[in-house]
Amino acid sequence: MEAKVIRTEEQYAAYLDEVQALISEGPKLNSAKSERLELLTVLLEAYENSKYPVESPDPIDAILFRMNEKGLKQADLVPYFGTSSRVSEVLNRKRPLTVQMIRALTIGLGISADTLVGASLPDSPTSKGVVDWSKFPIKEMTRRGWIDNIGKIAKDNLEEIVKGFISKAGLEFGAASFRKTFYGEAETPTSRYALYAWLARVIQKARDRKPKNGSFNPEELSAGYLKELAQLSRFDTGPLLAVEQLEKSGITVVIEPALKGTLLDGAALRDADGTPIIGLTLRYDRLDNFWYTLIHEVAHIWKHVTDEDAFLDDLDASSEDRREAEANRLAREAFIPRVQWRRSDAYTSPSKESIEKFAKELKISPAIIAGRLRKESGNYGLFSDLVGQNQVRKLFPSPE
């Protein structure tokens, strides 16, 4: 009987019986019976994989199981995650595990690293070679005017509309993956689709904002360039002046609020024609956040971005990536050189007066110094009157 793809349980049972009979006969190698046995084995394995897939253990379930087994509370996991808020975010699947967390949990709780790695890999539209277009945030994209109001529309047509929106931005995809490779810490386990949609919108808007000189010269970027850009922060209209300066240098800056479910401050990438693009969400409408994010992304453009890469940053998150560490260092040095920071009165005896005096010496906004003190101390209640709350969005036209 000719062997065929297995489609029913009856066919599966019949082939299984035949395989067992052939095995008991012990057919000779390269004989017709041995080839038949090999073919049936392949067909049975394919049917079993499709009918009864073996799923990897869920990393969060593994952590919860071990907590229950050891009688642990969320507070007991703080040493492994760093803060109580991160424990909550990870266990609620809103933040992926970092390499450092995985290492700590493996040693401290004895959970296999192979099991935990899954929690550090957020759901990707192409992780299984298939893009589920229905997972894109259609309602929010429609509300923002990114796509036309499609109402009740057939699934196939919906796919074509969203696919057209994404591919129009040059985020082309092949059989297995999108063209861009993401780096950074801006994802939650369910946010990758929203990040692609946001990134596509940023690219499309960037193409409507042609750089004033029409070209980008990478040789223009340097530590001195970052410092000059940072010193624009001392002006009331500094954010506008910085965007203008960057666009004169051939770098397009786009303001676009993040989509729901993402943890995103900014992004750095290149368009298909090589034009550098910086996207900012103004996630926190504060001067300190705006300036640090901007210089961080410019550092990525200078040092790290290639035609195939996109850096998407949640600057509240820690990162093991050396490129993120370098962008952080370059941004900090552009505002406050390390040697001066440790010796300053603003650091040793922080007060409104010492902050404003040090800011004047460095020719930067006091918001930058206040923001750094808050970040390093972990006390975000400090100097709230100096960080420039609600001082950024009003400078830019509404993107919606």
pLDDT tens digits along 91-108 = 887 777 877 788 778 777
Instruction: Calculate the alpha carbon distances from 387 to 165, 200, 228, 333 in Å.
Output: 37, 31, 20, 19
Closest to 196 measured CA to CA, from 161, 166, 163, 160? 166
pLDDT tens profile 265-295: 999 998 888 899 999 999 999 999 999 999 9
Domain membership flag for residue 154:
no
Q: Within this chain, do residues 83 and 20 fall inside the same structural domain, yes or no?
A: no
Model pLDDT, residue 51: 64
pLDDT of residue 84: 83
243 and 365 share one domain: yes
Q: What is the mean pLDDT of residues 165-172?
A: 72
Between 320 and 380, the higher pLDDT residue: 380
pTM of the model: 0.67
**Same domain (yes/no): 318, 342:** yes
Residue 21: inside a domain: yes
Mean pLDDT across 209-232 = 85
3, pLDDT greater than 90:
no
Q: Considering the domain boundaries, does residue 370 fall inside one?
A: yes
Is there a single domain that holds both residue 240 and residue 383?
yes
- Mark whether 65 and 16 lie in a shared domain: no
* Model pLDDT for residues 104-144, shown as the tens digit of each residue: 787 778 787 767 765 444 445 544 446 777 788 888 998 89
Average pLDDT for 343-350 = 94
Residue among 219, 323, 335 at smallest CA distance from 288: 335
The first and second tokens of residue 120, run together, are 């550090």
Q: Does residue 367 share a domain with residue 306?
A: yes
Q: Are residues 43 and 104 in the same domain?
A: no
In-domain check, residue 152: no
Percent of the chain with pLDDT over 70: 80
The pLDDT assigned to 93 comes to 78
- Specify the pLDDT at position 179: 39
Provide mean pLDDT across the span 305-315. Answer: 83
**Phi first, then psi: what are they for 169, rounded to 5°?**
-85, 0
370 has pLDDT over 50: yes
Name residues whose C-beta falls within 8 Å of residue 28's C-beta, 6 or more positions apart in sequence.
Answer: 34
Residue numbers of the domain that contains 13 = 9-51
* Cα–Cα dist 185/8, whole Å: 45
The answer to whether residue 251 sits within a structural domain is yes
Kindly list the distances between the CA atom of residue 333 and the CA atoms of 318, 339, 340, 356, in Å, as whole numbers in the listed order: 18, 9, 10, 18
Number of domains composing the chain = 3
CATH of the domain at 80: 1.10.260.40
Position 186 pLDDT exceeds 90: no
Q: Which helix (H) or strand (E) holds 265?
A: none
Average pLDDT, the chain: 81
Query: Same domain for 362 and 304?
Result: yes
Q: Mean pLDDT lowest for which of 3-17, 155-169, 348-362, 374-388?
A: 155-169
3-state DSSP call for residue 389?
Answer: strand
